[in-house]
Amino acid sequence: MADFDFDLFVIGGGSGGVRAARMAAQRGARVALAEVAKMGGTCVNLGCIPKKLYSYAAHFAESFEESHGFGWVGEAPVLNWETLKTNRAREISRLNDIYMQLLKSAGVHIVDGWATLTGAHTVEVAGQRYSAKNILIATGGKPGIPEFPGSEQVISSNEMFDLSPFPQRLLVVGGGYIACEFASIFNGLGAHVTQLYRGHQVLRGFDDEVRGFIAGEMVKSGVTLHLNTDVAAIERTEGGLQVRLLDGSHITADSVLYATGRSPLVEGLGLDAAGVRQAKSGAIEVNDQYQTSVPSIYALGDVTARVQLTPVALAEAMVVVDALFGPPAGKKPRSMSYDFIPTAVFTHPNIGTVGYTQAEAAGKFGKISVYRSDFKALKHTLSGSTERTLMKLIVEDATDRVVGLHMVGADAGEIVQGFAVAMKAGATKAVFDATLGIHPTMAEEFVTMRESVKP
């Protein structure tokens, strides 16, 4: 048997890479992990965590305004952008340290720098070569910015958390969840936000009714939304960034965020030299065990461009660890199912969803029933807000199984997480109907909907 420096060498210290390295080391494997940036990857440093913190910050403005209807009087405080940035940075630094300590306490050897494959069992980092029986690539993804006249003037989501000064006029280009979230967040923080999307409606891939509903709610809250158009050119002037659209109109902004997609972070990995096969998008191709075309090299998470969500990368990591080092005593090796993955979009209001959209369900199951409720939440009967909540259930007629559940409203992610357990277990509409609601809550609406609407 060949003598290797490590049993597993992990490239990338994001959620999936850290989980795989830590769990493998706890099983007794000799593990190394290489990371060129701070531990935690996009989610901790430039994605989920700071974005949710800023979302919390943005909600305070509307909460102060809504409090008047409940008897609170006085002027609302004003945002200190520098304080928010400083406090966020401190919390992220704390999380970086926690990730590092988790790895070290498990016995993982940390290598600082960018790792490049030099063979099926070897990597090189900063001139030092390491060998490993197996290698795991978990480098994640990166934001992409297309080239056009003035594209050097725009920023990506990576720069949004530390903008200086605060952008009073923000243009967001894109219609995905990152674009919609930042549009909502900075609108809530006090910027005048314009969102631009070349498609006919934002959030492609989500339920069509949800897409239209959240677009309407965002516009009501103050976001200016332009659909079916795109940027032609950008020029920096004394008055700000002059953005010319394809139709000839102009928008003036202090900052322009491009959130038009992410791509796998594969540059400099040496995939070609190692013989690792990639899709046209650059994504690393893997089988059900996340094994690449080179049997000793694995890949997971956003670099494979399957489902780009942190919990998915964590679950995939456990599949790899079980496959390579065996499951815990008395347990079966884990496998990964991509059905009924719940997710949330932290727009204002939030979106929570699990299962099939109405169009997907109709195409897959044929006959379906749709149950929906659109209402003003109890809170807003006094708050003065015009915000509304949408809830929707999609049921396969042949089995009565609930195959889609969608919500737009406050704390939608928190609510949908619980229902995702029921749906993963195969709950039917009859089970929903037999479940007592918690009154008065918005969540109870999911178990009290009785009248279906025509699909």
Mind telling me the catalytic residues? 439
User: In angstroms, rounded to a whole number, what is the distance separating the alpha carbons of residues 346 and 337?
Assistant: 24
CB atoms within 10 A of CB 234: 21
Sign of the dihedral defined by the CA atoms of residues 358, 343, 449, 418, in that order: positive
Q: What tokens appear for 175 in the block?
A: 């219609």
Angle between helices 15-26 and 310-325 (to 10 degrees): 30
Q: What tokens appear for 283 in the block?
A: 């994504």
Per the CB < 8 A criterion, the answer to whether 170 and 254 are in contact is yes
Tell the residue number behind the tokens 């605060």, with chain if given.
166
User: In angstroms, rounded to a whole number, what is the distance separating the alpha carbons of residues 215 and 210?
Assistant: 8
Tell the residue number behind the tokens 């290698």, with chain if given.
135
Tell the residue number behind the tokens 């403005």, with chain if given.
61
- Beta-bridge mates of residue 372: 392
User: In angstroms, rounded to a whole number, what is the distance separating the alpha carbons of residues 56 and 79?
Assistant: 13
Q: What tokens appear for 284 in the block?
A: 């690393």
Q: What share of the chain is helix, strand, coil (3-state, %, to 5)?
A: 35, 25, 40
3-state secondary structure at position 381: helix
What 366-370 contacts at long range (C-beta under 8 Å, 24+ apart), as own/partner pairs, is 366/397, 366/398, 367/396, 367/397, 367/398, 368/394, 368/395, 368/396, 368/397, 368/403, 368/455, 369/394, 369/395, 369/397, 369/429, 369/452, 369/455, 370/394, 370/395, 370/452, 370/453, 370/454, 370/455
Q: What tokens appear for 393 in the block?
A: 């259930």
Per the CB < 8 A criterion, the answer to whether 110 and 22 are in contact is no
> What stretch of H or E contains 344?
strand 343-345
